[in-house]
Amino acid sequence: MAVRSTAAPPTPWSRSLAEAEIHETAFVHSFSNIIGDVHIGANVIVAPGTSIRADEGTPFYIGENTNIQDGVVIHGLEQGRVIGDDSNEYSVWVGKNASITHMALIHGPAYVGENSFIGFRSTVFNSRIGAGCIVMMHALIQDVEIPPGKYVPSGSIITTQQQADRLSDVQDQDQEFAHHVIGINQALRAGYLCAADNKCIAPIRDKNAKSYTSNKLNVIEIGRSSEVASNSLGAETIDQLRYLLEQGYKIGSEHVDQRRFRTGSWTSCKPIEARTLGEAVAALETCLADHSGEYVRLFGIDAGRRRVLETIIQRPDGAVQASTSFKAPASQTNGSYNGNGSSYSNGSGSGRLPAETVQQISQLLAGGYKIGTEHVDERRFRTGSWNSCKPIESTSANEVVSALEECIESHQGEYVRLIGIDPKAKRRVLETIIQRPNGQVAPSGSQRSVVSSSSSSSSGTATATSTRLSSEVVDQVRQVLAGGYKLSIEHVDQRRFRTGSWNSTGPISANSERDAIAAVESTLAEYAGEYVRLIGIDPKAKRRVLETIIQRP
């Protein structure tokens, strides 16, 4: 195992010269630094470029199965402590099965509960993050306590307890994504340990030297008291099986030939009732052997009969995929994850609402807004005579989605729209049509979404025209500008769309509606073939009031 750690330096507040305690199954990359009294539990991976310094605030605790990814910094102030799950005082406590992802900063006093996820470049300082929380990218959490099981959207600034208490709950697919990340990093840990072990890596190198096309590498799982051998499964897949069994999931496998692969018509292999890792490996090898020349995929099944960590492990050419190619659960089974933590499809969240609408609901709730719905028939639509559906008092995303579906069901053949309401200013921040008379649930790219300064709907036509933008988008631009908000554009290609890695083109500096529309059109032309979304920003509150996709690949 490659480890780079040193004792804490002597300082006026600490002369103990404490050294790190690192479990033998953990992997600490040689390009990382661990200084001082740091406890690193079993099966932890500390990736390259990390800095874990218990040289001022001390001690630190990192629980088992946790992954500390590239560029993470963990440090603490001399003053201030948190109480860990063992009832002792720590400068920084990170529970088990947590993910601290690329470039995140955890600065003590800080507590990160078990099964939590801290997204890229997010900062946690003088705060407690409850168990099972999901903190997305570029978030700031300071001087607050986030209750367990809460979701923090990307870009959020949470510095008051009131903001923390308003956060929406983590959804099932958010938890599945967090489990997915842990599984990926456990596979990486196994790979790193194998690369550092000549007994493990030598057979692989010998096989590769003989044939670069060989897919029957005899990989022996490493770092275990009870070794499991496989002639067809890689160490990463075996490690994935172990993780699923340890988490209490059942194991499933499916196969499909090349013709049916395009239609998603998968067929189950023989049920795997394994109680041990060896039995699971043997059953999976049998499925691979029985269906050589076909696609085979592995997945876990939780107590709610939902799939987690679904991944293709064999393709028709016989190649066995490593676990690093795992994808989030497929949308036809239990919902797909888009990186913003708010994408739903059949089987989780909503069977009627598109992912963009559910995402809007989560963002409105996270911003402290209330949700309303209205309906109108075709005749009254032209006069703007909307009627309210049953009031929605809930702050739970699932309950709000259910209420919206009930409104849609009760008013088939009519227009139905979603309303976002600022309870303090008593004005609407969002209006978007989610159903049309033909029963179609409108995707957000064709929705009429407005930010208005009054509670009435704007039904006039746009004064500016566009050859590329729909009238709804033109109307959105006008209403955002009329409300005193700023406009911005973000884009992302198809590959990064699933991870939510949007790129900003920066704010639109326009003096008129016409200039703003021209700027949006220019962006669409520049990023043809990509997703493009329109952003409305409240410059005073520094938060988003509108997000809607206006172009798809």
Catalytic residue positions, numbered: 56
Q: How far apart are CA 395 and CA 317, in angstroms?
A: 50
φ/ψ of 295, rounded to 5, equals -80, 140
Using DSSP bridges, classify how beta strands 38-40 and 60-62 pair: parallel, antiparallel or unpaired. parallel
Cα 149 to Cα 329: distance, rounded to the nearest angstrom: 20
- Do residues 497 and 545 lie in contact, with contact meaning Cβ atoms separated by under 8 Å? no
What's the CA gap between 181 and 324, in Å, rounded? Answer: 10
Helices and strands, counts by H and E, the chain: 12, 37
Cα 400 from Cα 476, distance rounded (Å)? 24
CA dist., res. 509 & res. 512, Å (int)? 9
411: tokens are: 């008013």
Torsion, Cα 351 353 355 357, to 10 degrees, reads: -160
Residue with structure tokens 């003096």? Answer: 511
The C-alpha angle with vertex 125 and arms to 119 and 127, in degrees rounded to 5, equals 95
What one-character-per-residue DSSP string does 433-461 give? EEE-TTS----GGG---B--SSSSPP-SP
Peptide bond into 59 cis (omega under 30): yes
Segment holding 362, helix H or strand E: helix 355-366
CB 317 within 8 A of CB 307: no
Q: What does the block give as tokens for 322? A: 């490593």
